[in-house]
Structure 1
Amino acid sequence: MLHKLDIKAFFFNAKTDYLPYYKQFTFTLESEASVQELLARIQEANENFAYPQSNLVLKINSWVVEGTQTIGSLVQRLGTSWQIDPVSSYRANHGLCINDADFMQSFALLAPYAREEDAAFYKTLYALHYASRTELFVREYIGDAVLVLAHKMITEGSEHKESILKAITSAESGLLDCEYENGLFEAQDHSKAIAELKAMVTEDDTPSLCTKLMQRFCKEKTPPKRVAQTIKNLSEKQVAHYFAHASHDAMHARITEKGMKGIHFASANKLCGLGILKDNKVLAFKKAGAILLDAFDCGAEVLIVEDLDALEMFQKHFSAIEKTVGREMIGLELIWAEDFIAQISKS
């Protein structure tokens, strides 16, 4: 089957360009053709376009894609309008080619404890390293790949467990900054491995006997009963839905059924920093701010938040989030999904 693709391709040459730019192309390719074949076609059309000849990994519509991926599989999920970017725009030096020295620099943290097979395994995680969402907020982040390797080494019985854990937590931005999200087109879920690593690091933080006794005999204050929230003139406002890893379908149907103006924004399915709030507030606020700003800039007047804990984080730290991202979001109202449903059900 043939697919007509509308391509917006990234161009940049560190030797001649001050800023990157994009050029538009249209190509027709077979479903079975690979991304690498598409890139070759772009280069034929414009000799200034460049892409790696090895470790071919790039971003298409923000998803990390390998060069062997077929056109048909991408069209099925992404449609036929694509924006092609380097896997790390920050590290780009010529087109899609990047300075990837950081990949092996991260491995160097574990190299003293690694076997040959560990090094070989790590090299298979090249795409995963650059799919790390945390790196978008902290450039010094060591990457998800080295954390996956650390977990593998420890669970396979490495005698260097403590040294490995120290290496991945003492880095400028390491394990405790990781809130794992899949950024790969061919999805991988390493959240269990990351959670287990964090549990290993914090296992010494268990309460002492004295603390446990105090917790047992000291009465805890009963939290106040939550009062359902309502929003004035809700039916007249533009609403967006932040659902993270939940589903958007049911909420989309309700918004449509009520004839309300629904706003879609790219980061609606991303994590908001709740999982790292305790360990790195600034990073958590950056992640939360990116989501709130995305919804706000897309025109949302009301943001429906699926998860109550995420909503409470947004509300409690709203001013701090604004300060962290350097923007005010005047007029953006937040509401829990269940409160939203209850309110529109009465209208």
Structure 2
Amino acid sequence: MIKELQVELFRFDSKVDYLPYYKTYTIEYKQRDTVLSLLNKINSIDKFGFEATVDFNIKINNLYMNVNELIVNIVDATSNEFKIEPISIYRATQDLIIDKKDFLEKIVTFKEYITPMDMDEYAKNYELDYYASNTYDINRDYIGDHSLLIASDVIEQNPKLKEDVLKFISNVDNGIWYHTSLQNRVFNYDTSKEHKIKSLLSMLPKVTYSGISASTNIKTHHADISQFFEGFNIASFDGLNKNSSSSMIKESKANYVDISLKYEDLAPYSTLVSKNFSLKIAGNILIQAKDENADFIVVRGKSDVMLFDGEQKRIEKAVGREINLPVISQEQFVKLLEGEKNSSLLGFDKHKVKISFL
């Protein structure tokens, strides 16, 4: 069966363009067509910069992937409207082609431990692990998840190098502490890579810290709604485990503000070496919700409220922008839906950002 895709394609020539722009296309595709075949079809209509090989990587609808992925699988996971971009807009040179110098230079830092042939293999296989990281968007000096995966291989193959390699990857300015999970950013992500990185973290000296939780599992019962939010715009932060409150928000008759950063990792280990890194991640989430006209954001639980609400003044300073966005937990939202209006019973009297809609 032949179906149609609506495509927005990133266009940019670093030699002549000041800003990127997008061109739109309607493209037909079949069940077994890949992203590469899609790019080839567009290129036959309108020439643009990309590499017509199965090793090429791009970003579609905020998911990073290889062009060998099937179009139907991406449609099932997202929609039939594709926004196609390079894996790093920051390093784009010609449309979907980027300058990979920074990625390759960080592989070369392991030259004492790996062969030139190994370097070529890592360059071919670990490109997405570097550019898809949310950490890369915030800290360009980050050594990259590809470096952590190389480090894991080096230690596994030669345990005598363990201390040297761990010292190298645990730099307080750009090391492993700033890692953020790729599981919600890379299409069909190989989770064994995340296990390797967590194994590296477990090899480092244990440090007790009072930072944000690495994971937050919130259980909220189904609300018996008596108080609706019709006319409100409500966003959510659902975290790595996708503890989504989207259905509750939609049931409340509010407009659900679907932000692309809702499944991000808050980098809990970064609090061991940096006061501001997690604040910047939280700030980007709040700014996106604010810019999408959210009246407030629903987060997972108390730990998130402590960060997004309790630290919002510090967050504003870290990102250099006023935010002033109310933050409530899923549990508080359920109570609101069930008709509770007492600010102190809801815990809103303890919030730093005033809940103005009560």
TM-score (norm 1): 0.83
Matched, 1:300 2:294: yes
Give the whole-Å Cα distance in 2 for the aligned partners of 1:154 and 1:11: 42
Task: Read off the aligned partner of 1:340 and give its amino acid letter.
Answer: F
The alpha carbon displacement at 1:36 in A equals 1.4
Decide which of 232, 237, 241 is 2:236's aligned counterpart: 241
Alignment of 1:39-118 (within 5 A): 39-47=39-47, 49-54=48-53, 55-115=55-115, 118=118
3-state SS of paired residue (1:295): helix
Matched, 1:174 2:175: yes
Alignment of 1:179-328 (within 5 A): 179-182=180-183, 183-189=185-191, 190-203=193-206, 235=229, 237-248=232-243, 251-328=245-322
3-state SS of paired residue (1:322): helix
Give the whole-Å Cα distance in 2 for the aligned partners of 1:264 and 1:167: 39
1:222 is aligned to none
* Count of residues in correspondence between the two structures: 318
3-state SS of paired residue (1:52): coil
Contact 1:242–1:306 (CA under 8 A) maintained in structure 2: yes
Task: Read off the aligned partner of 1:99 and give its amino acid letter.
Answer: D
2:151 is aligned to 150
3-state SS of paired residue (2:160): coil
3-state SS of paired residue (2:77): helix
Contact 2:309–2:326 (CA under 8 A) maintained in structure 1: no
Contact 2:178–2:267 (CA under 8 A) maintained in structure 1: no
Q: Percent identity?
A: 27
Task: Read off the aligned partner of 2:327 and give its amino acid letter.
Answer: L
Contact 1:4–1:28 (CA under 8 A) maintained in structure 2: yes
Give the whole-Å Cα distance in 1 for the aligned partners of 2:229 and 2:25: 42
The alpha carbon displacement at 1:87 in A equals 0.8
Contact 1:240–1:300 (CA under 8 A) maintained in structure 2: yes
2:142 is aligned to 141
The alpha carbon displacement at 1:324 in A equals 1.6
The alpha carbon displacement at 1:243 in A equals 1.0
Give the whole-Å Cα distance in 2 for the aligned partners of 1:186 and 1:43: 26
| 1:161-215 CA distance string (max 9 Å, x none) | 1221122223852212112232211222233322222232324x589xxxxxxxx
Greater radius of gyration (CA): 1
Decide which of 327, 332, 355 is 1:334's aligned counterpart: 327
Tell me: CA distance 1:156–1:310, structure 2 relative to 1, closer, same or farther (3 Å): farther
3-state SS of paired residue (2:26): strand
Task: Read off the aligned partner of 2:50 and give its amino acid letter.
Answer: Y
Tell me: CA distance 1:69–1:196, structure 2 relative to 1, closer, same or farther (3 Å): same
Contact 1:103–1:129 (CA under 8 A) maintained in structure 2: yes
Matched, 1:19 2:19: yes
Task: Read off the aligned partner of 1:194 and give its amino acid letter.
Answer: I
Give the whole-Å Cα distance in 1 for the aligned partners of 2:172 and 2:131: 18
Give the whole-Å Cα distance in 2 for the aligned partners of 1:337 and 1:176: 28
TM-score (norm 2): 0.81
